[in-house]
Every structure is written in C-alpha cells, then in structure tokens.
Amino acid sequence: MPDADETPSALGPLRAELVVIRAQLTALSHLPDRLAELHKAVAREQERAAFREEIIDRLHSENQQLRRSEVEATLEPVRAGLYRLYDYARRESDRWALAGKENPDQHDPQSDASLYAMFAGQVGALFAAFAEETIEVLGRTGVEPFDVAKGERYDMALHRPVDTVPVDDPAWDGLVVETVSSGFVRGEQIARRADVVVAQLTGR
C-alpha cells in the first residue's frame, strides 16, 4: 500500500492535464462568440463588395448612356441632311415617273413624246433607287421610315399637319388624305413626324 506522502505526487500529472483541459474548454467556450464576430465581418465585407459592384455598374451604365448621347448628338445633323435628301429624291422620282406617263406616242417609239417618256421613266427610276439607298444609309444610323396610310386618323405624336383640305363628309374629318414626307422612328421613339395633309370638315 503506497504512503500518504506519495499520493499528491502521483496526482500531479493528472492535475496538470486537468488544467490543460480546463484551459482548452475555456478557449472553446469563446468560439461561438468569435464565429459570430467572423460572420459579421464577412457580412460587412459582402455588403461593401455589393456596394462597390453597384457603383461600378452604375458608372458603367452612365458611361454607356453618355456615349450613346454623344453618338446621337453627332448623328442628328447627319440624319437631318439625309431626311432632306430622301424627301427630294422621292419627290423627284414621283415627278419624273408621272412625266413619263404623259402623252406617250405608242404609234411612233422614236417620236419626241415617246423618247421623253422613256427618258423620264429612266430618270424617275434613278431617283427612286437613290431614295432607297438613302433609306439604307439612314437605317445604319438607327432610324427607319414608318408608313402613313390614306384615311388614317391624324395623330399629333406621329403626324405634322402641313395643310388641310375641306371635306363635306363628316367621316373624313380629321383623317390623313396625303403624305407629303415620310416619318421616321428610332426604336420605339419618333425621330421625325410625317408631314401630312389632313381633311377638315367644311364650316368648322
């Protein structure tokens, strides 16, 4: 049987181990708090990253919009010139095509009237081709023509009235009777309203 004096000495290593275990348990008891702090820190970093991403996206969007605005501002005078060119080419095409139908002498293909009709038809075709080419160039700048049908209800957002004609039929009051120049759209926006002649009821 061991002496009583040897017991404390024998328990020494066990006590030391218990002290180590207790220290480890104490350290582990703080782990949830440290994990919570880490989670908060990660969440803050994620918020900062999301905020930075939002700023970058907004700056990129504003930069793109600014560039588009600058491009549109540069293209607008070019389009205005092309609109006038297209209007002129189309008017001349219609005028020469009409002239080509006047007084053709079908009995003598070599007569002045027949030769003039042939010449007028060819000139009209050239102007028509030139008008179509102008439309293609305008298309490359982002605009397209839109059709206005005779009898269409006048719409101030789409049409610009350049003249009126009197009518007796109330059904025609406020309807488009002639398109003077085509309108153009850029996407869903009206780039240029169509010039039209509008019927107006007599006596109004």
Q: What are phi and psi of 41, to 5 degrees?
A: -65, -45
CA distance 57 to 180: 45
pLDDT (0 to 100) of residue 10: 60
69 has a pLDDT exceeding 80: no
Question: Is residue 131 exposed (0-12), middle (13-18) or buried (19+ Cβ within 10 Å)?
Answer: buried
12 has a pLDDT exceeding 80: no
Domains of the chain, residue spans: 6-60, 144-204
5 has a pLDDT exceeding 60: no
Q: What are phi and psi of 178, to 5 degrees?
A: -160, 140
* Range 35-44 average pLDDT: 83
CA-angle at 101, arms to 99 and 104, nearest 5°: 110
37 has a pLDDT exceeding 70: yes
* 3-state secondary structure (DSSP) of residue 39: helix
Cα→Cα distances 204→164, 166, 168, Å: 12, 9, 11
pLDDT (0 to 100) of residue 23: 73
**Mean of the per-residue pLDDT values for the chain?**
84
pLDDT (0 to 100) of residue 152: 95
CA distance 180 to 16: 105
- pLDDT tens readout for residues 72-126: 888 889 999 999 999 999 999 999 888 877 766 667 777 777 788 888 888 999 9
| Reduced 3-state DSSP string for 102-165 | CCCCCCCCCCHHHHHHHHHHHHHHHHHHHHHHHHHHHHHCCCEEECCCCCCECCCCCEEEEEEE
- Does domain 144-204 fall under CATH 2.30.22.10? My reply is yes
In the chain, what percentage of residues exceed pLDDT 90?
46
1 has a pLDDT exceeding 50: no
8 has a pLDDT exceeding 70: no
pLDDT (0 to 100) of residue 91: 92
Residues whose CB falls within 8 Å of the CB of residue 128, separated by 6 or more in sequence, listed in order: 89, 90, 93, 97
Stated pTM of the model: 0.62
CA atoms within 13 A on the CB side of 80: 6
pLDDT (0 to 100) of residue 67: 79
pLDDT (0 to 100) of residue 172: 94
Most confidently predicted of 6-15, 19-28, 154-163: 154-163
The H or E element containing residue 35 is helix 31-99
The residue with greater pLDDT, 5 or 144, is 144
